[in-house]
Structure 1
Amino acid sequence: MLKSLKEWVLVFIIIGAIMLTGNWIGYDVLPWNALPGIAILIGISLAGLIVHRLLPFQLPSIAYIGIIGLILTIPGMPGAEQIVMYTTEVNLLAIATPILAYAGVSIGRSWFDFVQLGWKTIVIGMFVLLGTFLGSAVIAEVILRFQGII
């Protein structure tokens, strides 16, 4: 577990640096303003990964991360207002960019496994993405028309 913890911390430091840079360049938030929020998000993520390893339940680690984040930000919880104040300095897209890049690299490392799935998987994936996009567009169209915005 100690080896995994060291790897997680290293990955979080790298991703945190990329998030700081993306938040600064893309959204004009100075790194020292966003650093406490990023540190909090990294701490919550690290705690969720540790809890995932320690508990015998078979829940994904993202569930533990979400639960910890939810509990820490419940109104009235000690420190919740400060956590919310600091994390609002971090833009969502500054978080998503390095995570998606890491996911892309992970897929790229197992390209052989991906190719083994065959061309049918690619076609199905394209249909899933197309269906998700069209479904979202239809729902947005209906709601915006219902509200009289368009």
Structure 2
Amino acid sequence: MLKNIQEWVLLLGIFGIVALLGNWIGYDIMVMDAVPGMLLLIAICLAGLLLGKIMPGNIPSVAYVAIVGVLLSMPWIPGSDFIVTYTNEVNLLALATPILAYAGIAIGRSWTDFVKLGWRSIVVAMFVMVGTFLGSALIAEMILRFQGII
């Protein structure tokens, strides 16, 4: 368990540093302003990962991370103002960049497995993406027209 925690801290630390740099370069938020928020987000992630390991059942750790984050940011929880204020300094897209890069590397390492899926899986994936985009656009169009925005 201690080895897992050490690996989590290392990975979350690397993600945090990359996200802080992305936050600074892409959104002009100074690194020192975002460090407290990033440390809070890392602590929330660690708490969720630990809960995922120690709680009975087969619930993914990401669910525990989300639950801990939501509970700590509820207005009636003492200290939630502090958490919300500092985590607002970290842009969501700055967090997504290193995570997506890691996912790309993970897929790249198993490129042979991806190739085994064949060309049909690429066609199916393209249809899924186009369908998702068109479905989202259609829903947005209907909602915006219903509200009278467009």
Shorter-chain TM-score range: over 0.9
Q: Which residue pairs with 1:130 in the alignment? A: 130
Deviation of 1:27 (Å): 0.8
1:59 CA displacement: 1.0
State the percentage of identical aligned residues.
61
Q: Which position in structure 2 is the counterpart of 1:141?
A: 141
1:86 aligns to what?
86
Alignment of 1:87-126 (within 5 A): 87-126=87-126
Query: What is the SS of the residue equivalent to 1:76?
Result: coil
- What's the offset of the Cα at 1:118? 2.3
Which whole-Å CA distance do the structure 1 matches of 2:57 and 2:115 have between them? 32
Match for 1:55: what amino acid? M
Aligned 1:1-150 pairs, distance under 5 A: 1-150=1-150
Q: TM-score, length-normalised on structure 2?
A: 0.94
Deviations 1:37-65 (A, max 9, x none): 11111111111111111122111111010
CA distance in 2 between counterparts of 1:90 and 1:105 reads 24
Cα separation, 1, equivalents of 2:116 and 2:60: 25
Give the counterpart letter for 1:126 in structure 2: M
Per-residue deviation at 1:81?
0.9
* Corresponding residue pairs, total: 150
SS in 2 for 1:49: helix
Greater than 6 Å deviation, 4+ residue runs: none
Alignment partners' CA distance in 2, 1:56 and 1:99: 27
| Matches of 2:138 and 2:2, distance apart in 1 | 48
Instruction: Give the TM-score of the pair, scaled to structure 1.
Output: 0.94
**CA RMSD for the aligned pairs?**
1.1
Deviations 1:83-134 (A, max 9, x none): 0010011111111111111111111111122222222222211111111100
2:102 counterpart SS class:
helix
Query: Where does structure 1 lack aligned partners over 5 or more consecutive residues?
Result: none
